Structure 1
Amino acid sequence: MSKKNEKLIKIISQFKNKKILVVGDIMLDKYIWGDVTRISPEAPVQVVSVQAESYAPGGAANVANNIAAFGSDSYMSGIVGKDIANEILLKEMRKRNIKTEYIITDEKKPTIQKVRVIGQRQQLLRIDYEKGEYLSKEIENKILDFVTNKIKGIDGVVISDYAKGVITKNLMMNIIKLCKGNKKIVTIDPKPQNKKFYKDATLITPNCKEASEMTNIEPDSEKNVLKIGKKILKELKAPVLITRGEKGMTLFETNGKVMNIPTKAKEVYDVTGAGDTVVATVTLALTSGATLRQAAIIANHAAGVVVGKVGTSTLSINELKQSLENE
């Protein structure tokens, strides 16, 4: 194993000592697993014979799940509805050692659910339950109070924005200000329509499609990918890590340096939640003393592991270390 990778493994070993707060759009992922047996006589659609159902924390809660899976202290703040899905979701989160005391029940909204039907290891259909409206001022203030009271006792904050209403301009500006004032890492998994909210973050981690929409530039050449990253960096005054699927990742630093990182994925079964794994891993790496480049390399290894799994997946510290050791 190279000395470079030995350093990265030392950084990963620090993950378990870290405390990270995730703020964002919490969802419940439901999976219906089955076999496709025939075509329906009622319509030209597949009939799935259901074998099992399972649940997992989704959206921002999957970021918190990835953090907890590394053995770190994972705190979640956001909203759920007053419904059965809320009860299932909170139970699933607590089962995975995610701290839920900063989650607020909003009686005017349902708990966001993503229901996926899986047959023969392939996703056949997705059904969404959601009501995408911005938070009331009262709930926004409660979340901000949570962050204000918690900031000194944590190592970093992840903003997981799915544009479902939790991340408002006022909340975002205040969280970034709090993090900078207390010298805490703040990373953002963004949504293009909210891009103006993210100025001065420690790191922004869009996928290629999101980065393209943030700049109105098509990522159809390496030259254009460079333009995209540099434009986001200039506008938001923050480093950018663009995740690019089979092309790996590209990191843009404020000093003008650009680094391309080839993918580590050997097989890709499911990209569900891969961006959540990236922002969780890169945040833990940065709070553990990694440079931006080291953090990006570690996150790239983590993404390579999770896309080889089916469903909303996480990985352990040992799996991450093994990926580096096997390089």
Structure 2
Amino acid sequence: MSDVAPLLLCIEKLEKGRVLCIGDVMLDRFVYGNVERISPEAPIPVFQKLSEVVMLGGAGNVARNIAGLGGKTHFISVVGNDQAGRDLTTQIGSLENLDARLITDASRKTSIKTRYIASGQQMMRADDETISPIDENIRKMVLDAAALGLEDFSALVLADYGKGVLSAGIAGELIQIARLKGIPVIVDPQGSNYDNYMGATLVTPNRKELADAIGLPADSTEEVVSAAAQIARQSGIDAVLATRSHDGMTLVRNAHNYKHFQTNAKEVFDVSGAGDTVVACIATAVSAGISIEDAVALANAAAGIVVGKVGTAVAYVEDLTAYLQQQERATGEAKILNLASALDCASVWRNRGLKLGFTNGCFDLLHPGHLAVLNQAKAACDKLIVGLNSDASTKRLKGDERPIQTASARAAVLASLEIVDLVVIFKEDTPATLVEALRPEVFVKGSDYSLEQIPEAKVVQGYGGEIVLAKLAHGHSTSATIARIVD
């Protein structure tokens, strides 16, 4: 059995995860635009706004990632009596597997972090927030909600961003409550005083946070292990996971008991929220009965996925499965995604100015006719998304003896083609739902169809997309191939 195979088995357990998440929530705004000139008023770039995306940030992104991995989470935080707080409530209410107790404090602002991005690079970040401990009344409400929540959950995450929800000893009280109940506590820490997290099961400082905590460099593996072991020993913490960007992660229990995990990232677009994904994945896995070591291995893979997206992104359970399956087959970058992950990927590509194309089919026993359509589809766009009929929909369309190959096998074959950038399996008879959601600029179909015969044509025309009818390579069909084999 490969090293990946046990992790694939672990993924199946993630849906059993039940995590209570507490921390500083914030609204992340990503403003996309162009910079083409310098201001005549000062030596600064002129940013021309093109679009804006608003996402859950901070501890909210941790909770969102837990839900994305299939775990159930209850989220506790504090917001202001303002529009940002109401926007956060709306965003949380739209997510499955996630419910929340957002306590309103009229004396505080809801934290907003606005990032300005041009050509795939952050130009500037602007913060609007209140940074102070919550008052005694709000503190009691948080602790009471946590005590109640811990009755139904098997792991606690503390996502500390230093805004006040976990300040002034609240983190320590929560850790004590959880550990007395035998519940593991995973902490995304803030500041240099790790005594605030005494008794935690795991803390996850990055390289800079680790160095600041001990006042010494933490660059080499030896320095990281020494620093992490010192924190664990002095602050009574079971283990420290040092996240080291392109150098991967190092899990340290003491100076003689540590394990290093190489980075999985293939291409980095944005590191926003990668730490949130790590904490969420570990907590979900641990709450589902998975060992810390396997939980970290899963989190390392999840982090490698989200840094390839833009914004405070989510690694969905389907992302992890596809990534590890393709890693096991050594076929390179994961291309087989669910619709939610495909939408994230499409957003990244569009923000880079790339044209999306789409074609679809059963692709049962790939043949030259299929390749002809795929090549023409790729020639019409920058990134080609292929919608693939599931086994059930293929059977409905082609008959009870089909498909010859399973959907996973057909998807793997398509994903191995350089001209295919993404494969999304759909259960319906037509990909109309996929097309409506993805809105590709170019929709490609074989010329054996007329526009009137294409169910998706009205959808594509409705949003202004282009429909291309690809020339067919005659003499090739799966049905004819099967007939010849039978004969």
**Shorter-chain TM-score tier:** over 0.9
**Aligned-partner residue type, residue 111 of structure 2:** I
Once superposed, what is the RMSD of the aligned Cα atoms?
1.6
Q: TM-score, normalised by structure 2?
A: 0.65
The range that moved more, 110-119 or 82-91, is: 82-91
Q: For residues 173 and 95 of structure 2, what CA distance do their matches in structure 1 show?
A: 29
Alignment of 1:114-129 (within 5 A): 114-129=113-128
Q: For residues 16 and 293 of structure 1, what CA distance do their matches in structure 2 show?
A: 19
Q: What residue ranges of structure 1 are gaps of 5+ in the alignment?
A: none
Judged with a 3 Å threshold, the aligned counterparts in structure 2 of structure 1 residues 264 and 11 are, in CA distance, closer, same or farther, namely: same
1:169 deviates by 4.3
Q: For residues 30 and 219 of structure 1, what CA distance do their matches in structure 2 show?
A: 32
Q: For residues 79 and 52 of structure 1, what CA distance do their matches in structure 2 show?
A: 28
**Aligned-partner residue type, residue 297 of structure 1:** A
For 2:288, the equivalent position in structure 1 comes to 288
SS of 1:152's equivalent in the other structure is coil
Would you say the 8 A contact 1:158–1:283 is kept in 2? yes
Judged with a 3 Å threshold, the aligned counterparts in structure 2 of structure 1 residues 231 and 196 are, in CA distance, closer, same or farther, namely: same
For 1:267, the equivalent position in structure 2 comes to 267
For 1:47, the equivalent position in structure 2 comes to 46
SS of 2:56's equivalent in the other structure is strand
Alignment of 1:91-170 (within 5 A): 91-97=90-96, 99-170=98-169
SS of 2:269's equivalent in the other structure is coil
SS of 2:151's equivalent in the other structure is helix
CA offsets 1:148-190 (integer angstroms, 9 cap, x no match): 1111211211000011111134322221122112221210000
1:48 deviates by 2.0
1:254 deviates by 5.2
Q: For residues 270 and 100 of structure 2, what CA distance do their matches in structure 1 show?
A: 31
For 2:257, the equivalent position in structure 1 comes to 257
Q: For residues 58 and 6 of structure 2, what CA distance do their matches in structure 1 show?
A: 31
Q: TM-score, normalised by structure 1?
A: 0.95
Judged with a 3 Å threshold, the aligned counterparts in structure 2 of structure 1 residues 291 and 17 are, in CA distance, closer, same or farther, namely: closer
Q: For residues 47 and 98 of structure 1, what CA distance do their matches in structure 2 show?
A: 42
**Aligned-partner residue type, residue 200 of structure 2:** A
1:40 deviates by 1.9
For 1:76, the equivalent position in structure 2 comes to 75
Would you say the 8 A contact 1:173–1:198 is kept in 2? yes
> How many residues in Structure 1 have an aligned counterpart in Structure 2?
326
1:73 deviates by 1.6
Does residue 10 (structure 1) correspond to residue 19 (structure 2)? The answer is no
**Aligned-partner residue type, residue 125 of structure 1:** M
CA offsets 1:114-170 (integer angstroms, 9 cap, x no match): 001111111111100012100111111101101111112112110000111111343
**Aligned-partner residue type, residue 156 of structure 2:** V
Q: For residues 100 and 40 of structure 1, what CA distance do their matches in structure 2 show?
A: 46
Would you say the 8 A contact 2:30–2:54 is kept in 1? yes
1:100 deviates by 4.8
CA offsets 1:270-300 (integer angstroms, 9 cap, x no match): 1111110000001111112222211111111
Q: For residues 194 and 131 of structure 1, what CA distance do their matches in structure 2 show?
A: 21
Q: For residues 98 and 5 of structure 1, what CA distance do their matches in structure 2 show?
A: 27
For 2:420, the equivalent position in structure 1 comes to none
**Aligned-partner residue type, residue 182 of structure 1:** K
SS of 1:253's equivalent in the other structure is strand
Runs of 4+ in 1 over 6 A off after TM superposition: none
CA offsets 1:170-229 (integer angstroms, 9 cap, x no match): 322221122112221210000124421111111111111111111111113332212111
CA offsets 1:68-95 (integer angstroms, 9 cap, x no match): 1112222211111111111112112222
Q: For residues 7 and 222 of structure 1, what CA distance do their matches in structure 2 show?
A: 26
For 2:245, the equivalent position in structure 1 comes to 245
SS of 1:109's equivalent in the other structure is coil
Would you say the 8 A contact 2:274–2:303 is kept in 1? yes
For 2:214, the equivalent position in structure 1 comes to 215
**Aligned-partner residue type, residue 320 of structure 1:** L
1:44 deviates by 1.9
**Relative contact order higher in (CA < 8 Å, ≥ 6 apart):** 1
For 1:191, the equivalent position in structure 2 comes to 190
Q: Which of the pair has more CA radius of gyration?
A: 2
Would you say the 8 A contact 1:90–1:100 is kept in 2? no
For 1:227, the equivalent position in structure 2 comes to 226
The range that moved more, 169-178 or 187-196, is: 169-178
Does residue 28 (structure 1) correspond to residue 35 (structure 2)? The answer is no
Q: For residues 192 and 231 of structure 2, what CA distance do their matches in structure 1 show?
A: 13
Q: What residue ranges of structure 2 are gaps of 5+ in the alignment?
A: 328-487
For 2:323, the equivalent position in structure 1 comes to 323
The range that moved more, 131-140 or 220-229, is: 220-229
